Structure 1
């Protein structure tokens, strides 16, 4: 690893000994440029994904009422979402069949991720409404985030950055193949 630059050549910023890890691809997410406006299915990325091929859409598996897709902005490798095909914003609006299949896909996702990457645990949940942190509030989706001991190291705490050791396409291939 190269020695950190201790003296800034441009005279801008604070002089420190920290290395910088740049993730410019996340800027669109941070600024909200990729977040749909309105509640119409035509503007919803989850509704648009179902018409794409699975590899391009990062879809892992399709069921009768829900599908599993990798998160384009993952918290950890293997971070996926279970999404109903039907464009509904709120959990109580799911039908009984959608609720059951969403639960079954969540169980299957955990089994597959454990098999492929030996996850130690999981965070599973839904952010219901934009005030609760939902980036796409108008189309319900459940996050399945694999966790490993020590995965929440100093990077997100001090550097507000996650280091992902695998490309999304590689993660999709492993998980879809094991599904």
Structure 2
């Protein structure tokens, strides 16, 4: 196809270079988002632990909670810590769940440090849709590794994040780096 044919088929050039991230459309359209608040309403955090670790992107499992990769990561190594039990609020965890939730968060930070050597972390949870929770019906805590300069023109202006590694490769690196009890 000539340049003229391409321009007429795809629109006139406008001077912008574009990086396409079509996988983000799944998130924008709500793919894998539950249809309601109940566990059987398609909750991905209830579904993931029932799959083999590699398929569900599960990095580590405890008795009451587990660590899984974020399907739509902000950075490579972006983990989520989730209770197995389908609860929406942090205050709904019992003492053993809260303790393991915290221990898995600590272990996740250790694993990400070993695997990727970030300069810092954002750790937290969004309780409720208005607070920014994409899946508000199932509690989850984010562990996001950060590096100096990891926010540049791409996410700020282009609303695009460039990740250097596939999720399966990230899961393998973190599982291998996970601290053993």
By the TM > 0.5 criterion, same fold? yes
Match of 2:173 in 1: 174
Matched residue of 2:145: which SS? strand
Q: In structure 2, list runs of 5 or more residues that go unmatched.
A: none
Cα distance between partner residues in 1 of 2:73 and 2:130:
20
Q: CA deviation at 1:9?
A: 2.2
Aligned with residue 18 of structure 2, among 17, 20, 43:
20
Match of 1:78 in 2: 77
- Provide the aligned C-alpha RMSD in A: 1.6
Cα distance between partner residues in 2 of 1:31 and 1:14:
28
Tell whether the 8 Å contact from 2:7 to 2:13 is kept in structure 1 after alignment: no
Q: In structure 1, list runs of 5 or more residues that go unmatched.
A: none
Match of 1:50 in 2: 49
Deviation sequence 1:61-97 (CA, Å, 0-9, x none):
0001100000011010000100000000001101111
Figure out how many residues of one structure are paired with residues of the other and give that number: 173
Tell whether the 8 Å contact from 2:60 to 2:66 is kept in structure 1 after alignment: yes
Cα distance between partner residues in 2 of 1:175 and 1:14:
44
Match of 1:129 in 2: 128
Q: Superposition pairs for residues 1-179 of structure 1, below 5 Å?
A: 9-10=7-8, 16-42=14-40, 43-179=42-178
Cα distance between partner residues in 2 of 1:120 and 1:63:
27
Q: CA deviation at 1:50?
A: 1.2
Q: CA deviation at 1:13?
A: 6.8
Cα distance between partner residues in 2 of 1:148 and 1:59:
24
